[in-house]
Structure 1
């Protein structure tokens, strides 16, 4: 087609083209952190030559007295710094516990996904959903599907389109609903998932810059996450039924791509049904075992001193083991029932496949561990946070406006840097200490990050799955493109961001607990 025959591009399309060009200039996350390491090395050395330091007061947790402490900035390109860089390479990585947490979680999640359990569960929920509740159930399942990583993108989104078509609704509305749920609410869930382990680990490392004894657990945001899931489910469903669906109108099958099949799956196979029953039996057995380990007085997983189950108990400290066992047990039992994973070697192969898929992530973690260790060694985060906190305290802005501003900053950055882990590795060492010095608990900072990081995922072309969404849309409308998807997703992004931020502000203002 000649340029003269090409349709003129709209302002929105030109804007998206510009965002895509800028985004394509953003290097790989590993390259970004290598650049940041170089910046930290040079900047810390220069500032240390000028004797940059900050004097502050801190509470000694052992004596409960206020002490005046001076924290000096240390350089990395002097004799001591070079010694640290050389000798700490392996210890930095070995002490980066996020690696172990991620691998443990994916052992279970990999078996559940490879056996077909996740796919079967999603299909079952859609099939049994009554027509009036279909939108709400799809939105809820889409959000919860993030516990199985890519399964939500690859299974729920196309399934939502087919489910809408089956009830005589526009399939593009179903795709938009699924994408908003999976991508726009990715950082929250009703369950604890592998991503939580990494985000919590970064938060604890950052909090230690202010108070070495300050730690949060895997369930530190669970109450806020559960309520967020319920609220976001309603927002996504209402936007679909009141805005996106009516705008799309009645679907014309002639718009579909040539050869596209749109027949919905109306029932599960006998093997899938039997697999789900086996998974239920296995899960009940696991629950029975853990009831014996937690409920009786003096049970092994209770705190040996206080007898508490919630708090600093073996049960809470080892919660990642329970998450792994839930997915592992349910996944294997489903595999036995459905005939997809019958033997132990097959389960081991599924685990190996899951762990192999983490190769790129593990290498990223290696580089991240060096960045975090170098940044901590230099005291740059502490000096910057204390300096900024002093300015902000003098300005008397207040913690809540700062948290809301932080949410906005994260959302803007998410348009160009979509990885939740990579962004938090950059933000946590600065914002967690900064806000802690203003009296904000680290759980609140992490909750604010969850709000800012998610909604923009549904609108940025730099999301790895945005192109996949365009492909799904072209199945039902051969002329669909980036502009089509963005125009559908924009109402979700705006309302999810505004109302979710409002929920966060109300939660913080009321002083509600963020989690366990």
Structure 2
């Protein structure tokens, strides 16, 4: 009878709004289909706009850019002949696959799970919440593995210290999802977004080359701000909301002696590897310094950050796997790498269609013309500077409610907004940083994020009656407070003109 009453209970305005978001998002096509549709729209638009002689004048050079028809004989031949090249030269493809070889092996051997478990269990009880948030933020180094591994560990830790496990689930998920772009180290997301940003920037500057560290300084500062904000929200909203736990108490199994030995050797290998890198980078004559200038920027270290990241994960993962006997032969290593790449199959398909769409966008000149016209319109309305940046954050946050994939959204938005901001003298690093803020803040509350359903499954272990509305209402304060805090931080960063990363400033000039 009670269940019937609950079902018939009138939903709140927020719950009805979120139901609408979920319903609208479920009607969207798969991201692969979305890019196919966008590709055909670009091709059709190139034919129509070319008939109307649509063009723009490139600022600085006064060069006239006209829309190119891709549906004539020359365009169709170009589409067929360069389809393979579009895919193989798509910058994110190689970067992400190489990086994930190392991260995937670390996940498959159990190193990431053991490391997260050990780090969280070692935290003093009074610091457990900020430590969980920090672990969630840094845990994004392991890409999506953090969503699967950390929340259930956090729930069991909270239960073991006499607190509601749902608090641990909510806090950790909010940190991983809402702070998806913040980190203390360079992650696979930095590498992935860089490739898309480079492709978009080359619509304006053909030889543009970016760095995976282009937002590094800002993201480090963001990490500490989000830890403080997340801790505030947890104590102010989450803990009082869920109260005491009255269910059956489970205990988290401690780290085994074999796992501890594996972590020890993984740590030793990591320390040796980092020391070797430092020796190659810190001295002015280091082999990873710029051979001509001896500088750090535009050095082999900066351009080789992807393979450096590969071995940062790969070597400790090998050590851990061998010590824990998860890896017994070279066949085990190969098998686990195969599995990690198999998990990337959806990304590879997405990369193929995204690469075609972005190439058509560039060939047709629609992207550069939209960017120039958009920049001129913004200048005419005097809607530039900080108001424009905050507006872009809000736009990205809204789109994120319907399309959760960070790479899919950026592949759609970057070819327009990166050039547009460049014509307004803002660097690609700034546009990417702004996007990353907007992309992250609504992650906790969108049901379109695949891991939201997994969070709900975890939560039902402790409260079988819990629903989507309960989770979203608990996660909403994190999205709101993270949004306010992150926008304030970015505003201060912008007004002070601080560098976003090594060698990357807010402005182009």
Asked if these proteins are the same fold (TM beyond 0.5), I'd say yes
SS at match of 1:454: helix
- Residue by residue over 1:190-239, the C-alpha shift from the partner in whole angstroms, topping out at 9 and shown as x without a partner, is 11122211211111111111222333200000111111111111111111
Matched, 1:203 2:197: yes
* 2:506 alignment counterpart: none
Residue 55 (structure 1) shift: 1.5
Matched, 1:100 2:101: no
* 1:224 alignment counterpart: 218
CA distance in 2, matches of 1:388, 1:317: 32
* 2:288 alignment counterpart: 301
Does the CA contact (< 8 Å) of 1:399 and 1:440 recur in 2?
Answer: no
Count of residue pairs brought into register by the alignment: 500
Residue 297 (structure 1) shift: 4.5
SS at match of 1:215: coil
Question: What is the TM-score of this pair, normalised by structure 2?
Answer: 0.95
Deviates more, 1:201-210 or 1:393-402: 393-402
Work out which of the residue numbers 420, 425, 428 in structure 1 matches 2:406: 420
SS at match of 1:13: helix
Residue 352 (structure 1) shift: 1.1
Does the CA contact (< 8 Å) of 2:173 and 2:444 recur in 1?
Answer: yes
CA distance in 1, matches of 2:91, 2:7: 54
- Residue by residue over 1:88-141, the C-alpha shift from the partner in whole angstroms, topping out at 9 and shown as x without a partner, is 111111111211111110111011111111111111112211011110100000
Q: Give unmatched runs, 5+ long, in structure 1.
A: 59-66
* 1:273 alignment counterpart: 260
* 1:30 alignment counterpart: 32
Deviates more, 1:356-365 or 1:49-58: 49-58
Work out which of the residue numbers 470, 489, 497 in structure 2 matches 1:503: 489
Deviates more, 1:351-360 or 1:374-383: 351-360
Residues 365-376 of structure 1 aligned to structure 2 (within 5 Å) = 365-376=351-362
Residue 296 (structure 1) shift: 4.2
CA distance in 2, matches of 1:423, 1:150: 17
CA distance in 1, matches of 2:258, 2:343: 27
CA distance in 1, matches of 2:57, 2:284: 48
- Residue by residue over 1:328-348, the C-alpha shift from the partner in whole angstroms, topping out at 9 and shown as x without a partner, is 011111112222224322112
Residue 392 (structure 1) shift: 1.4
Work out which of the residue numbers 352, 364, 370 in structure 1 matches 2:350: 364
- Residue by residue over 1:440-497, the C-alpha shift from the partner in whole angstroms, topping out at 9 and shown as x without a partner, is 1111110001100012111111110111111111111121010110111011111011
* 1:286 alignment counterpart: 273
Q: Give unmatched runs, 5+ long, in structure 2.
A: 503-509
Residue 386 (structure 1) shift: 0.6
Residue 188 (structure 1) shift: 2.4
CA RMSD in angstroms, aligned pairs only: 1.6
CA distance in 1, matches of 2:169, 2:204: 45
* 1:61 alignment counterpart: none
Matched, 1:467 2:466: no
Residues 45-60 of structure 1 aligned to structure 2 (within 5 Å) = 45-58=47-60
Work out which of the residue numbers 158, 161, 176 in structure 2 matches 1:167: 161
* 1:44 alignment counterpart: 46
Matched, 1:246 2:232: no
CA distance in 1, matches of 2:8, 2:156: 31
* 2:304 alignment counterpart: 318
Residues 42-191 of structure 1 aligned to structure 2 (within 5 Å) = 42-58=44-60, 67-191=61-185
CA distance in 1, matches of 2:55, 2:6: 64
CA distance in 2, matches of 1:57, 1:199: 26
CA distance in 2, matches of 1:356, 1:178: 27
Deviates more, 1:143-152 or 1:341-350: 341-350
Deviates more, 1:12-21 or 1:405-414: 12-21
Does the CA contact (< 8 Å) of 2:47 and 2:69 recur in 1?
Answer: yes
Residue 3 (structure 1) shift: 7.3
Residue 295 (structure 1) shift: 3.8
CA distance in 1, matches of 2:279, 2:5: 75
Residue 37 (structure 1) shift: 0.5
Does the CA contact (< 8 Å) of 1:271 and 1:339 recur in 2?
Answer: no
Work out which of the residue numbers 1, 8, 16 in structure 1 matches 2:18: 16
